[in-house]
Structures are given as C-alpha cells and as structure tokens.
Structure 1
Amino acid sequence: MILFGASGHCKSVIDIAESIGEKISIIYDDNPSVEAVCHIPVQKFLTDFRGTNETWVVSIGNNKNRKKVTEKLAKNFGLLIHRTATISSWSSIGDGTVVMAKTVINACTTIGEHCIINSGAVIEHDCKLGDFVHVSPNASLAGGVIVGEGTHIGIGASVLPEINIGKWTTIGAGAVVIKDVPDGAVIVGNPGRIIKTNG
C-alpha cells in the first residue's frame, strides 16, 4: 500500500496498517518536510507519476484537502480498519476510508469513501455518512443519523437519534446536536447552536 500525505494524521494511518500487518511501501507528499514518517520513506509526488498496482490511501486529515488530492490521484484506493475496531457485518465502508482503534460501527450503517473514523468513535445502527466525513475521537452518533459530505464532527461531540447534518458542516468539540443542521453550519455548545455559516 502507498500513502499520500506525510502529516501527523499519516502516523495514525500507519498505526492502523501495522495493526493488521499491511505493509506501507512509501509515502508521497506534494511538499514533504521530512524524509521519513515512522521509518517509512517520504518522496515528493510528481504529477506525471504513473504509480503501481498497489492500493493507495490519502493520509491527510483536512477533509477539503483530502478530497482535492483524491480527485487528482484517481488511483486504486484501499481501506484500512484497525484490528481493535468493532464493525458490524451488516455495515458497509467505502474505499479510502480509515477506521482507527476502538471504534464501534453498528448494524446497517453506511460509511462513505475517504472518511476518517477516529479512535473510540461510536456510530450506531442505521447511520449514513457521506464521503470525506471525519468523526473525531470519542464522538458518538446515535441511531439513524445522516451526515453530509465533508462534515467534521469534533472530539467528544454527541448527535441525537435521527438527526440530519448537512454537507461541509463543523460540529465543535463536545457539542450536543439535538436538531437538524444545515449545510456549511458551524455548531458549538450544549445544546448545539449555530455560530456562523460557511459559504
């Protein structure tokens, strides 16, 4: 497997791979500031690079940047799930997604492509997450929650059942979401309230 992105998030992705015995052969980056991450060599990515038959994962934490790079690469994307994650056999997870340690994904949940499901997150039954979503550590989504593309749910946030969260929204750390959230909103507090809306 090949990674793109030599940031701090890359280290977490490497940890997932090591937990299941997946070998990372190399890491590419547009502007590498290091020569190696966790002893894996980092090389500058060239736009005319043709690659190999290996699978790729974009190891960039920022949702918008991850989407840009994914569209540029158009490679054969893989899937990484930490060995300690608990995943229902009735759920589905899209290519390019990474699922970190101690995560729980319950029955009939659908996770989109190129998502980050971070350490200790809980995603209950019948949730639907769009592409490029990031669920931060210890965040919890109750049953039937729908999350739009590119949304970031902050560390320790809680979302009540059957809530619809729009695209490219930000749910702040520790927020408690008790009602539907429109596209582009920034939510903070308990109960969660909109403090601004991004374009």
Structure 2
Amino acid sequence: MLLYGASGHAKVINSILRATGQEVTAIFDDDLGKKNLGDIAVVGQYDPDFQTAAPLIISIGYNDIRRKVAGKIRHRFGRAIHPSALIDETATIGEGTVIMPGVIVQADARIGRHVIVNTAATVDHDCLLGDFVHIAPGVVLCGAVQVGESTLIGAGCVVAPNLTIGANCLIAAGSVVTTHIPDGATVRGNPARVVGNFEAGSPR
C-alpha cells in the first residue's frame, strides 16, 4: 500500500494496515523536507509511475485537500478497515475510505469515497455519507442520517435520526443535532444551531 501525506493520520492508517497484515511501502508528500515517517520512507511528490500496481490511500485529514489530491492520483485506491470495526455485511464502503478501531457500521449504511470514520464512531442503519466526509472520534449518527460531501462532524457529536446535514458543513465537537442542516453551515451547541457559514478550504 502507498500513502499520500506523511501526517499523524498516516501513522494511524499504517497501524490499521499492519493490523490487517498489509504493509505501507512508501509515502508521498509535497514537503520535500520529510524523509521518513517512523520506518517508512517518504519518497517526495506524487509520481504516477512509482509502484504502479500498488493501491494508494490519501492520508490527509482535511476534507478539501483530500478532494484536491484525489483528482490527480492515477493509482487505484485502497481501503483501510481496522479488524476491531464491526461492519454489517449489507453496508457499502467506497474506495479510499478509512475505518478506524472500534467503529460500528450498521445495516444498509452507505459510506462514500475517501471518507474517514474515526475511532469508536457509530454509523447506524441506512445512513448515507457522501464522499470526503470526516466523522470524528466518538460521533453517533442515528438511523437514516444523510451527510453531504466534504462535511466534518466533530468529536463526540450526536445526530438524531432521519436528519440531513448538507455538504461542506462544520459541526463543532460535542454538538447535538436535532434539525436538518443546510449546505455550508457552521453549527455548534446542544441543541445545535447554525452560527455561521463554513469557508471551503479552511482548516477542519
């Protein structure tokens, strides 16, 4: 497996892959000052002719950057799913997606491409997560929640059943979402309220 991004997120992905008997052979990174991540070589900027048969995962936590990088990759994309995660056989998981330790994904959930479902998050039945979403540690998505592309749901959030959260939203850590959320909103609180517009490209 190849990674793109020599980050803390890459350390976790490497741990997941090792737990499943896979090896990260090299990491691409645009910062030419980075030479290794632990015992893994950082080989410089992305090269489409490097180990062309190997799958690749984008190991970058920021949703918008992950989206931009995905557009230039010519390798096929892999997935990383920790063996402690409980994934129902009817759930679907897109390419490039990472499922962290302790995650639960219930029946008929659909998880898009290049999604991060972080440590101990719960994605209940019939949820739909768009591409490039990040579900942070400890999040609870109740049944039939829909999350639009490139949205970040912060650590410890709870989202009530049958709600839609739009694309490009930021749901602040610890929020309790009880109403539909429009595209591009920044939301926080219990109950969660829209407090502003999220600017695409801002750190998440």
What is aligned with 1:50?
A: 49
Percent identical: 41
Q: Secondary structure at the match of 1:17?
A: helix
- Assess if the C-alpha contact under 8 Å between 1:105 and 1:125 holds in 2: yes
Structure 2: state its 5+ residue gaps: 200-204
Matches within 5 A, 1:16-165: 16-46=16-46, 49-51=48-50, 52-165=52-165
Distance of 2:33 and 2:90 partners within structure 1: 41
What are the superposed Cα offsets for residues 47-104 of structure 1, whole Å, 9 maximum, x if unpaired? Answer: x542311100000000000000011113200111001000000100000000000000
Structure 1: state its 5+ residue gaps: none
Distance of 2:22 and 2:33 partners within structure 1: 25
What is aligned with 1:179?
A: 179
Distance of 2:178 and 2:11 partners within structure 1: 34
* Structure 1 vs Structure 2 CA RMSD: 1.1
Displacement of 1:118 after TM fit? Answer: 0.3
Name the aligned partner's letter for residue 7 of structure 2: S
Name the aligned partner's letter for residue 197 of structure 1: N
Q: Secondary structure at the match of 2:64?
A: helix
Name the aligned partner's letter for residue 106 of structure 1: Q
Name the aligned partner's letter for residue 50 of structure 1: D
Segments ≥4 residues shifted beyond 3 Å: none
Distance of 2:156 and 2:72 partners within structure 1: 32
Q: Secondary structure at the match of 1:27?
A: strand
What is the TM-score when the length of structure 2 is the normalising length?
Answer: 0.94
Displacement of 1:108 after TM fit? Answer: 0.3
Q: Work out the number of aligned pairs and report it.
A: 198
What is aligned with 1:6?
A: 6
Displacement of 1:33 after TM fit? Answer: 4.0
Displacement of 1:32 after TM fit? Answer: 4.1
Q: Secondary structure at the match of 2:18?
A: helix
What is the TM-score when the length of structure 1 is the normalising length?
Answer: 0.97
- Assess if the C-alpha contact under 8 Å between 1:6 and 1:32 holds in 2: no
Distance of 1:163 and 1:97 partners within structure 2: 23
